[in-house]
Amino acid sequence: MNRARDTLPPVLGWAIAAAQEKKAEKVTVLDLHGVASFTDYFLICSGTSNRQVQAISDAVEERLGQGGWNPAQIEGRALAEWVLMDYRDFIVHIFTERARLFYDLERLWRASKRTVIAE
């Protein structure tokens, strides 16, 4: 069952918009309410290159920072195969396509509600 995009928290919408402005692909939100206790949502997207993955992460950090949202932690930015940005209430995962297929978070968290964001 998919949730409508407009029912997501506004800050998550800002992160989605920032990622899409940098041409992120396969943007998906997993609603982890009732499935995980450490966060409420995963925002998952892909870039076509390491540089694009870095650009997407920079754009998300800048956009959310303008709204006063700063990540508790960022991992993986140096190699940019998988950048994880922990905003406590949600976690942004930005992958190269190869890494996304390998880790397959959508399969691992298949019990969650999924929203595929139109490009």
The model's confidence at residue 1, banded by pLDDT at 50, 70 and 90, is: very low
Q: Residue 69 belongs to what domain range?
A: 5-116
Asked if residue 47 has pLDDT above 80, the reply is: yes
Q: How many other C-beta atoms are found inside a 10 Å radius of the C-beta of residue 95?
A: 26
The pLDDT value recorded for residue 7 is 80
Mean pLDDT of the chain: 93
Looking at residues 16-35, what average pLDDT do you find? 97
Tell me, what's the pLDDT at 6? 65
Report residue 41 as tokens: 């949502």
For the stretch 63-98, pLDDT in tens is 999 999 999 999 999 899 999 999 999 999 999 999
The pTM for the full model equals 0.93
Q: Is the pLDDT of residue 26 over 70?
A: yes
pLDDT at 118: 84
In 3D, which of 37, 38, 35 has the Cα closest to residue 108?
A: 35
Residue 51 makes CB contacts below 8 A (sequence gap 6+) with 80
Domain count across the chain: 1
64, containing H or E segment: helix 50-66
Q: Is the pLDDT of residue 2 over 90?
A: no
3, pLDDT greater than 70: no
Q: pLDDT at residue 4 above 70?
A: no
Q: What is the CATH number of the domain that holds 11?
A: 3.30.460.10
How is residue 25 annotated by DSSP?
A: E
